[in-house]
């Protein structure tokens, strides 16, 4: 299937591991030029070198804090100079910690809002003018099934990521005329470092093991297993492709059916 992504300039944030890394590699395999970023330079460099070696694609990697608006703008400018264009931006960021509501400090709410909401604002504002010039663009946020079905112990994620859905819908309405599609991918329980963090909190509270928590989550999903980062990447690359050219303003659940609503 021709995705139409060959030669496209792609940004994937938080791409040193997990879903972000899998997404960056899949775009590279489709022939795109891929810009990767993450807060920690060491793991980012390792991931970029591996993807470059595995795919032969042009990879640009730069350490970045996506909560720093000025740094985001500089990064996007650097990518545009390097690739000559920016066509796709995948906005990914670490999720807020798993905590009960009364134990969360006010400053933690601010940090979570900056990380998971404002980072999408900063990235979108920086990349949209580049996309407008070519009248073609894709902005895809990675959130969580929590935007449809709140998850226990993740009150910050449940609250803030729902706001991202409102932002995505608003941007899709405003910039559809410019050929820019804006969507959201909402993963379910996926085998990443983030899931290990959440399962550790759950296991400690329940007096059980991380493995038992994973088995419980798998049993709750109709597919009876956890998701894999590559499966989330498949959905993201499809949404960015020409095969999804009439889809915008949507939230695509990639959750093994664990969301129980209609």
Distance CA 18, CA 230 (A): 9
What pLDDT does 1 receive? 73
Among the ranges given (55-69, 82-96, 156-170, 185-199), the one the predictor scored with the smallest mean pLDDT = 185-199
What pLDDT does 63 receive? 98
What average pLDDT does the chain have? 96
Q: Is the pLDDT of residue 86 over 90?
A: yes
Find the mean pLDDT for residues 200-207. 84
Q: Is the pLDDT of residue 188 over 80?
A: yes
Task: Give the predicted TM-score (pTM) of the model.
Answer: 0.96
What pLDDT does 196 receive? 83
Distance CA 241, CA 246 (A): 11
String of DSSP letters for 131-155: HHHHT-EEEEEE--GGGTS--TTBH
Q: Is the pLDDT of residue 55 over 90?
A: yes
Find the mean pLDDT for residues 93-115. 95
- Side-chain-side CA neighbours of residue 60 (13 Å): 19
The CA–CA distances, whole Å, from 217 to 37, 186, 208, 234 equal 30, 16, 14, 22
């Amino acid at each position: 299937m021709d995705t139409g992504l060959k030669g496209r300039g792609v940004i994937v944030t938080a791409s040193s591991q997990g879903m972000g890394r899998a997404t960056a590699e899949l775009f590279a395999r489709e022939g795109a030029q891929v810009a990767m970023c993450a807060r920690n330079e060491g793991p980012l460099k390792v991931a970029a070198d591996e993807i470059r070696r595995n795919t032969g694609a042009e990879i640009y990697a730069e350490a970045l804090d996506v909560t720093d608006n000025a740094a985001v703008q500089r990064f996007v400018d650097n990518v545009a100079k390097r690739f000559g264009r920016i066509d796709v931006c995948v906005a990914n960021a670490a999720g807020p910690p798993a905590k009960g509501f009364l134990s969360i400090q006010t400053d933690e709410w601010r940090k979570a809002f900056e990380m998971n909401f404002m980072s999408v604002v900063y990235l979108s504002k920086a990349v949209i003018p580049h996309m407008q010039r070519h009248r073609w663009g894709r902005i895809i946020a990675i959130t969580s099934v929590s935007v449809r079905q709140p998850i226990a112990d993740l009150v910050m994620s449940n609250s803030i990521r729902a706001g991202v859905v409102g932002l995505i819908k608003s941007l899709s309405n405003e910039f559809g005329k410019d050929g820019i599609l804006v969507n959201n991918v909402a993963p379910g329980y996926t085998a990443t470092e983030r899931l290990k963090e959440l399962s550790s909190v759950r296991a400690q509270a329940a007096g059980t093991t991380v493995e038992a928590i994973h088995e419980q989550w798998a049993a709750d999903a109709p597919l009876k297993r956890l998701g894999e980062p590559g499966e989330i990447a498949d959905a993201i690359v499809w949404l960015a492709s020409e095969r999804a050219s009439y889809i915008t303003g949507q939230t695509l659940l990639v959750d093994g059916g664990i969301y129980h609503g209609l």
